[in-house]
């Protein structure tokens, strides 16, 4: 990988991350930082994206700080990576509008996330005729802001999971569309870094993805859980009556989820390999092994996160310093984009 490569990735401020966030995103951020393969890394807490769902302002601010503390606690070094709050860099929304003005509505209507929301709303409309008109514009234009996040920094490489590939393709298409309209190679089409899929399922229903939105707290492990809470949640996770340990997500989803968590934490790329090493275990032994792996990984992260949240002045100072770095890059980029589009480029 070229040292000129520039990485951008963002995560919504949902408060303290859960295990799926850590394995699906944050662990990969740290690995990219420590690999030495990339020139610059920009990691953002994308608080503007969070506004697509109405939020209590005080809660949003608190959850933004919790997410920032968790990112640092996981191993992202603010001296080696640029960690910042999206809303602290005004050029994100300036580019959002500029790109939105050249984005065909048909492109937005094809986005899976929008179609899913629309389908859900239309189903609700069977009971309420006005419900179909209730979707917010932010949900429709969300992909444009995501593209602006990437293109503002002329990012060349974007870490994505399988469920995010469509958004990156949208950003690539929009970059090429802008370049064609204005006759300049303003934006490099960003390339994907397909991260290992770590789809962590609920500890109560292994057919559903682990999520902070699940009302049942026993369904997920968060980075703030105590060792006892972690062990209790894993002990109560559903398995089955089949003897031995195998990795079969279709026939044995509960066992497969636990094996998948263990493999991800132990850096075993193939969960089936982890299952073969544990095939003689019973379910209780499997749960003990998984709990040990989770506690061993998350315990130090939790302690560091609590330390950072206990010193808000320091945490705010770290973010402000990094946001100044992000603004320097973003404002220089925006001046070039504005000049290209015929806007004021002061």
Tell me, yes or no, if 3 is annotated catalytic: no
By C-alpha distance, which of 222, 255, 163 is closest to 26? 222
State the catalytic residue, choosing from 3, 27, 79, 117. Answer: 117
Q: Quick count: other Cβ atoms within 10 Å of Cβ 144?
A: 23
User: How long is the chain?
Assistant: 346
**Dist. CA 114–CA 120, nearest whole Å:** 10
Contact assessment for residue 308 and residue 314, using Cβ atoms and an 8 Å cutoff:
yes
Tell me, yes or no, if 209 is annotated catalytic: yes
Contact assessment for residue 99 and residue 144, using Cβ atoms and an 8 Å cutoff:
yes
Residues 6+ apart with CB under 8 A from 107: 143, 170, 173, 174
By C-alpha distance, which of 116, 94, 223 is closest to 163? 116
Tell me, yes or no, if 212 is annotated catalytic: yes
**Dist. CA 68–CA 71, nearest whole Å:** 5
State the catalytic residue, choosing from 79, 198, 204, 212. Answer: 212
State the catalytic residue, choosing from 79, 115, 209, 232. Answer: 209
Catalytically active residues are 117, 209, 212
């Amino acid at each position: 990988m070229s040292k000129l490569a520039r990485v951008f990735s963002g995560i919504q401020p949902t408060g303290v991350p859960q295990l799926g966030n850590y394995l699906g995103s944050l662990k990969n951020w740290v690995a990219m930082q420590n690999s030495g393969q990339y020139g610059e890394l920009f990691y953002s807490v994308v608080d503007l994206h969070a506004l697509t769902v109405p939020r209590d302002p005080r809660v949003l601010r608190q959850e933004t700080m919790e997410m920032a503390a968790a990112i640092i606690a996981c191993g992202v070094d603010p001296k080696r990576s640029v960690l910042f709050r999206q809303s602290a860099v005004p050029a994100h929304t300036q580019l959002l509008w500029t790109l939105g003005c050249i984005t065909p509505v048909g492109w937005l209507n094809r986005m899976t996330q929008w179609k899913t929301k629309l389908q859900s709303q239309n189903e609700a409309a069977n009971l309420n005729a006005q419900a179909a008109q209730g979707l917010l514009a932010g949900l429709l234009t969300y992909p444009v802001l995501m593209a602006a996040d990437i293109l503002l920094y002329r990012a060349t490489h974007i870490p994505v999971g399988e469920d995010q590939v469509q958004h990156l393709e949208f950003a690539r298409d929009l970059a090429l569309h802008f370049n064609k309209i204005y006759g300049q190679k303003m934006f490099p089409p960003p390339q994907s870094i397909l991260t290992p899929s770590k789809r962590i399922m609920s500890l109560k229903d292994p057919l559903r993805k682990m999520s902070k939105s699940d009302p049942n707290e026993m369904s997920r492990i968060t980075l703030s859980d105590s060792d006892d809470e972690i062990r209790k949640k894993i002990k109560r996770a559903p398995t089955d009556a089949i003897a031995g340990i195998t990795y079969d997500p279709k026939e044995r989803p509960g066992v497969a989820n636990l094996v998948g968590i263990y493999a991800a934490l132990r850096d075993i790329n193939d969960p089936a390999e982890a299952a073969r090493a544990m095939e003689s275990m019973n379910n209780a032994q499997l749960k003990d092994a998984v709990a040990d792996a989770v506690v061993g990984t998350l315990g130090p992260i939790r302690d560091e996160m609590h330390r950072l949240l206990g010193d808000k002045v320091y945490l705010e100072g770290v973010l402000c310093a990094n946001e100044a770095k992000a603004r320097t890059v973003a404002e220089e980029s925006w001046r070039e984009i504005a000049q290209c589009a015929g806007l004021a480029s002061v």
